[in-house]
């Protein structure tokens, strides 16, 4: 291989694929990116065996070929390279020269034949979705994360389904970790054909990687085929292998009973929660939320450190509700809400708390009470 590429054409994509190549897998070669010449330039490929990325970029090809090179060091070289163009040449015994007349790197590569094959999906049924909206859907669901050693599909994945009624068609993403749940909808045109009969569970890790490639403007193509979820944007494609398992029946959980809606300034509430979470720890995660007459009192007690207490005026005229919640969960939810005010819906000290933005009817999060 002997190619010349523009630094600006590959620096950003190399930064984005570090999440794939930096993840441990059963194959050491997945810490590399595969670079293959094409008729129009080069293809750059990365995978963690669960999520695969492939993008095409312009290059001057003097000699065709394919190389596998460590993704981290290649990215660092490209990022710090002083010139706009970079020469990449494969020499003897899979060694790779990167540089120009004044800067030279001599890096050992790996056998590209050992690189795992990317799924070859044909006749994928794609539909179009707004890129920025899809990015927000991902952000509002992947923030509900499980523990690292939890292998359950519904904890490690996001449920993706089509809602279709007589008066509405929408895509819904649902995420849970057992203690909280988040749902976000994206309304579709009535005449849009989406061939999604059953819901699917998409790994949160894969969706997190997808979000890096979603722009603030434009659209992306979404499809699914043969147990894979596919996102296509311009000359870049990401393929994620779906998780096998059953997602819990969640619709009863998001159904509200009789209760009280409390409107709170998001910024003030977030700052209050951050102050009250200072004394929480791994063993003492909860705080007591007391909803009283036009008043909210949050108390955090940690026998190893001390205690804290703060009050906030709210509009509430129901009976006293004292319930324990993890304040960290509230903070993470508030961070993905765009509205200036949030609405808390409380029914009793045994019922979950519903949280949504005042002007965001398509997003709902539910936090279960704790036992202290």
Lowest mean pLDDT segment, chosen from 9-18, 168-177, 189-198, 224-233 = 189-198
Quick one: 209 and 165 in the same domain?
A: yes
pLDDT of residue 172: 95
Residue 119 lies in a domain: no
Quick one: 289 and 232 in the same domain?
A: no
- Tens of pLDDT along 150-175? 778 889 999 999 988 878 899 999 99
- Domain boundary residue among 54, 82, 114? 114
Residue 104 lies in a domain: yes
Is the pLDDT at 372 greater than 70? The verdict is no
Look over the chain and give the mean of its residue pLDDT values, rounded to a whole number: 93
Quick one: 275 and 232 in the same domain?
A: no
Residue 280 lies in a domain: yes
- CATH number assigned to the domain comprising residue 171: 3.10.150.10
Residue 254 lies in a domain: no
Residue 250 lies in a domain: no
Quick one: 92 and 129 in the same domain?
A: no
- Tens of pLDDT along 48-100? 999 999 999 999 999 999 999 999 999 999 999 999 999 999 998 899 999 99
| Average pLDDT score over residue span 115-130 | 88
Is the pLDDT at 194 greater than 90? The verdict is no
Quick one: 46 and 107 in the same domain?
A: yes
Quick one: 74 and 157 in the same domain?
A: no
Quick one: 77 and 152 in the same domain?
A: no
Quick one: 278 and 200 in the same domain?
A: no
Closest Cα partner for 372 from 305, 279, 302?
A: 302
Residue 43 lies in a domain: yes
Is the pLDDT at 125 greater than 80? The verdict is yes
Quick one: 301 and 235 in the same domain?
A: no
Is the pLDDT at 248 greater than 80? The verdict is yes
| Average pLDDT score over residue span 339-359 | 95
Quick one: 15 and 68 in the same domain?
A: yes
Residue 9 lies in a domain: yes
- Domain boundary residue among 241, 272, 288? 241
What domain count does the chain have?
3
Lowest mean pLDDT segment, chosen from 11-15, 58-62, 221-225 = 221-225
Residue 367 — pLDDT band, cuts 50, 70, 90?
Answer: very high
- C-alpha to C-alpha distance for 372 and 369, rounded to whole angstroms: 10
Cβ atoms of 187 and 363 closer than 8 Å: no
pLDDT of residue 148: 66
pLDDT of residue 357: 96
- Domain boundary residue among 84, 114, 144? 114
Range of the domain at 279: 260-367
- Tens of pLDDT along 256-269? 889 999 999 999 99
| Average pLDDT score over residue span 180-184 | 96
Is the pLDDT at 300 greater than 70? The verdict is yes
Cβ atoms of 127 and 136 closer than 8 Å: no
Quick one: 110 and 135 in the same domain?
A: no
| Average pLDDT score over residue span 268-296 | 94
Residue 236 lies in a domain: yes
Quick one: 10 and 85 in the same domain?
A: yes
């Amino acid at each position: 291989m002997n190619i010349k590429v523009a630094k600006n054409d590959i620096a950003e994509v190399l930064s984005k694929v570090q999440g794939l190549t930096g993840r441990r897998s059963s194959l050491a070669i997945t810490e590399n990116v595969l670079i293959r010449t094409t008729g129009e330039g080069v293809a750059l490929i990365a995978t963690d065996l669960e999520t695969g990325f492939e993008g095409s970029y312009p290059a001057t090809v003097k000699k065709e070929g394919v190389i596998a090179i460590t993704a981290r060091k290649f990215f660092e070289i490209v990022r710090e390279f002083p010139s706009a163009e970079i020469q990449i040449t494969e020499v003897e015994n899979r060694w790779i020269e990167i540089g120009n007349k004044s800067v030279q790197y001599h890096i050992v590569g790996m056998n590209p034949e050992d690189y795992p094959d990317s799924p070859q999906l044909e006749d994928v049924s794609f539909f179009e979705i707004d890129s920025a909206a899809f990015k927000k859907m991902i952000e509002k669901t992947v923030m509900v994360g499980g523990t690292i050693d939890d292998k359950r599909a519904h904890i490690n994945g996001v449920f993706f389904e089509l809602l279709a009624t007589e008066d509405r068609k929408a895509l819904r993403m649902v995420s849970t970790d057992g203690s909280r749940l988040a749902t976000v909808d994206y309304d579709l045109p009535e005449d849009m054909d989406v061939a999604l009969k059953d819901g699917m569970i998409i790994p949160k890790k894969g969706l997190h990687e997808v979000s890096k490639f979603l722009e603030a403007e434009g659209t992306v193509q979404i499809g699914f085929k043969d147990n894979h979820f596919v996102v296509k944007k311009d000359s870049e494609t990401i393929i994620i292998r779906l998780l096998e398992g059953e997602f819990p029946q969640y619709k009863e959980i998001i159904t509200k009973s009789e209760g009280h809606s409390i409107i709170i300034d998001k910024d003030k509430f977030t700052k209050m929660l951050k102050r009250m979470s200072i004394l929480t720890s791994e063993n003492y995660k909860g705080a007591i939320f007391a909803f009283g007459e036009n008043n909210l009192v949050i108390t955090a007690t940690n026998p190893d450190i001390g205690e804290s207490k703060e009050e906030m005026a709210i509009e509430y005229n129901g009976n006293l509700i004292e319930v324990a919640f993890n304040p960290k969960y509230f903070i993470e939810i508030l961070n993905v809400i765009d509205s200036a005010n949030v609405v808390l819906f409380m029914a009793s000290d045994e019922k979950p708390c519903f949280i949504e933005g005042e002007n965001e009817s398509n997003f709902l999060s539910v936090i279960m009470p704790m036992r202290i």
